[in-house]
A and B are shown apart, each in its own frame.
Chain A
Amino acid sequence: MKAKVKKSVRQHVIIGNCIAAVTAADTLRELNPDDRIVILGDEAVPSYSRCLITYFLGGMVTQSHLLSHSEQWYKSRGIELHLATRAETVDTKRRVVHARCNGRKKDIPYDTLLVATGSSPIFTKSFPYDPHGIIGMRTYADVQQLKAWAKKGKKAIIIGAGFVGLKTAYGLVRRGVRVKVVELLPTVLGRMTDHEASMRVRDRLTRHELLDIELNNSVVATWRHRNKYIVRYQNGGEEEADFVVASVGVQANTKFLEGTGVQIDRIICVDDYQRTTVEDIYAAGDVCRSRHIVTGQWIYNAIWPVAAAQGRVAAYNMSGQQQVYAGNIPMNSVDFYEMWITAIGDVQAEGTDIEEITFKSNSIYQKVKLRDGIPISFMAVGNVDGAGIIRGAIVGKTPWKEFVKKPQTQLLPVVNQLGGFIAKAVA
Chain B
Amino acid sequence: MKAFVFRPDKCDVCRECEVACVAACSAAPKDSSRYAPFIKVYQSPQGPFLRLCKHCEDTPCVDACIGESLQRGPGGIIIQDEKRCVGCFMCNMVCPHGAIKTVMGLEKAFKCTLICGGGDAPACVVACDRGALQFDDFSTTVKKRRARKIQGILRK
A: residues with CB less than 8 A from B are: 49, 51-52, 55, 60-61, 65, 68, 304-305, 308-309, 331-335, 338, 340, 342, 344, 384-389, 391-392, 405-408, 410-411, 422, 426-427
Q: How far is the CB of A275 from chain B (nearest CB, A)?
A: 22
Q: Is the CB of A427 within 8 A of B35?
A: yes
Q: How far is the CB of A150 from chain B (nearest CB, A)?
A: 19
Known A-B contacts A387-B92, A411-B98; the reply to A426 vs B104 at CB < 8 A is no
Q: Is the CB of A411 within 8 A of B42?
A: yes
- Within 8 Å by CB of B42, from A49, A309, A426, lies A426
Interchain residue pairs with CB less than 8 A apart (8): A305-B64, A385-B101, A387-B93, A387-B98, A388-B60, A388-B92, A407-B47, A411-B98
Q: Is the CB of B89 within 8 A of A384?
A: yes
Residues on A with C-beta less than 8 A from B68 are: 49, 68
Residues on A with C-beta less than 8 A from B104 are: 338
Report B64-94 residues with CB < 8 Å from chain A CB: 64, 66-68, 83-84, 86-90, 92-94
- Supplied contacts A334-B89, A384-B89, A385-B92, 5 more A-B pairs, CB within 8 Å: A55-B67, A338-B107, A385-B101, A407-B47, A408-B49
Q: Is the CB of B66 within 8 A of A304?
A: yes
B: residues with CB less than 8 A from A are: 8, 15, 35, 40, 42-49, 51, 60, 63-64, 66-68, 83-84, 86-90, 92-98, 100-102, 104-105, 107
CA distance A86 to B6 in the complex (A): 53
Q: Is the CB of A388 within 8 A of B94?
A: yes
Q: How far is the CB of B4 from chain A (nearest CB, A)?
A: 14
Residues on B with C-beta less than 8 A from A335 are: 87-89, 107
Q: Is the CB of B92 within 8 A of A407?
A: no
Residues on A with C-beta less than 8 A from B90 are: 304-305, 332-333
Q: Is the CB of B60 within 8 A of A305?
A: yes
CA distance A410 to B41 in the complex (A): 12
Q: Is the CB of B89 within 8 A of A333?
A: yes
Q: Is the CB of B42 within 8 A of A340?
A: no
Q: How far is the CB of A400 from chain B (nearest CB, A)?
A: 15
